[in-house]
Structure 1
């Protein structure tokens, strides 16, 4: 059986909790209509959406599925996702600590993951196949300091830790969450290993976000390498990484380019070259049509065809990934980034990220 798996950062967030839901409720939101048109064009069987609000009822995720994805528009066929999993997130949850060191608590930068309200920038999975919710593993509460050889941020001037011991011992690794979500496809199970690490910017010389981004990605390397690791403890208290014979897809907006940008590229390079991972290198023709006036793009060394996001004056980057395990035969792969003359080009204005998809054969 062939299935198409995709990731898409849709940038659906507001300034207050509930704002996005209210904006979408009548089914007429122009941004969401464009996002749905992309989904209906690529037609993934399993879709991870980054940057969608989380509520315990999954209200926003269900709303976009029912009032946008499942509604035919502009000659495009609707697509139904009977199975939805909305993931809770560290974003906007106050840590009770002064994480940015400005002697003030309760700010967006003092949340376990940056956010102005709980559930902002979260994730949801939409699937045509059953989601094994009983066996989902989450690592929302996993401590950064529990990861061996963690990149603890240091002040380069004083050579002292940016976070004092009392804070470092409580910090969570995941800026949103790390998910292992089993999808049941006939007799086979595929584990979606989903995350959305913090961008490696918006910090100072200590590079605290760069360090965290690196370790959020490296978590998956450890998860694939160490099926018996006692230090990999999920939110239910179960330990260990992924079994060595399990089929999987690592996916999400990982906010890391292996060749360009301000991040620490070692972790994403390790993941891309991992012995269990197949990098199909999804590409597009549209990404190569860079703005000739964009000096940042001109300085990049990565293959422009592989880029998945347009960050304006900062340039184009490859930051969104769908990486299947090697026992899943890759049939096709791509990035939805049409050329300028393509009539679908206007759709990509809905987000600064592009949908990345991979089609695989499930044994």
Structure 2
């Protein structure tokens, strides 16, 4: 019994201390089918998946967490309700950022090439209503809101070296569509945070999936360029890159080797000279049946029904950080938290501990 109890303790991430900063990213998949529904479900306090998500975040207890697939609203009511639920579960975040994303932001053009207008694919980012499946940041330390840089309005065609889709040598779906199409499916933010040991910059995003399109590869090309935006940013093509320590984290929707899409894009981030890859691992993924994938099983961060397990979520600190530990919250079968991890979301929470001295 003593040996089993010790194994369970070691399987859980240690709580961060004053000399370390724990950062996390989590695609919660809590988005709902209509505005206000997420707020309703959080407030009722009976939705099992919401309860599992809050328990997982409380278990990991990060200092800063980037969340994906959280519906946006003007008053941040849903995010505030989630923050209260997290406080009740034992982890308190006094600071939050929840800007309007591109997802669900309607246009009057056919942006997805289906010959129709007004559908979720004709929004700047796929979504049935403004703010569906947005992103957010929760922090125990002050967010410097006046210094946040939001690149979500950047037009896709204005990205250096943009790979705009074509069909039969013509802009796809039209030149008019490409003239208004933004790069970000959801958002690209640079979020400065004042920690007890100094300022850091959080670079966060959620790229769209590189599938669900046709031979023009619109979604694949856009996913590629959403990821490559960060290379251009770090290389100084969108103004002075941050001088403070930084952490790039969020969802690329792309595995370095195994998923559909232009995999070289995410590999170029993993090998960028300003970044390091802590390569967080989990016992749950490592012990899952082998799929014959090139990416090591232990690094997987999502478990999709048909594509299978892949590594598509990332935490990449700048090289001036000393990484003290990292992991994917995916306990092995038999662990008390295993069912929570696999049922809360198809994605898993990633965490990294960084020494602050």
Q: TM-score, normalised by structure 2?
A: 0.92
Alignment partner, residue 195 of structure 2: 185
Q: Counterparts of 1:157-236 in structure 2 under 5 Å?
A: 158-226=168-236, 229=237, 232=238
Given candidates 112, 115, 119, the residue that maps to 1:100 is 112
Alpha-carbon separation, structure 1, partners of 2:173 and 2:163: 12
Alignment partner, residue 7 of structure 1: 25
Deviations 1:69-118 (A, max 9, x none): 1113xxxxx01001111121111111211112233211000000000111
The unaligned stretches of length 5 or more in structure 1 are 73-77, 233-239, 292-296
Q: SS of the counterpart of 1:22?
A: helix
Given candidates 76, 86, 96, the residue that maps to 1:58 is 76
Given candidates 240, 263, 266, the residue that maps to 1:265 is 263
Q: Counterparts of 1:15-30 in structure 2 under 5 Å?
A: 15-30=33-48
Alignment partner, residue 322 of structure 1: 315
Q: SS of the counterpart of 1:70?
A: helix
Q: Alpha carbon RMSD of aligned pairs, Å?
A: 1.2
Deviations 1:306-335 (A, max 9, x none): 000000121101011111111111000000
Q: Counterparts of 1:127-138 in structure 2 under 5 Å?
A: 127-138=139-150
Deviations 1:140-171 (A, max 9, x none): 1100000111111123xx24332322221211
- Matched residue pairs, number? 338
Alignment partner, residue 87 of structure 2: 70
The alpha carbon displacement at 1:56 in A equals 2.0
Alignment partner, residue 276 of structure 1: 274
Matched, 1:352 2:342: no
Deviations 1:214-263 (A, max 9, x none): 1001000110011xx3xx3xxxxxxx1413x3210000011011011101
C-alpha contact 1:222 1:241 (8 A) present in aligned 2: no
Alpha-carbon separation, structure 2, partners of 1:182 and 1:146: 25
Given candidates 57, 61, 70, the residue that maps to 1:43 is 61
Alpha-carbon separation, structure 2, partners of 1:241 and 1:139: 14
Alignment partner, residue 236 of structure 1: none
Alpha-carbon separation, structure 1, partners of 2:22 and 2:217: 36
Matched, 1:79 2:65: no
Deviations 1:257-295 (A, max 9, x none): 10111010121111110111010000011012334xxxx
Alpha-carbon separation, structure 1, partners of 2:99 and 2:288: 35
Alpha-carbon separation, structure 1, partners of 2:141 and 2:291: 42
Matched, 1:145 2:157: yes
Alpha-carbon separation, structure 2, partners of 1:140 and 1:357: 25
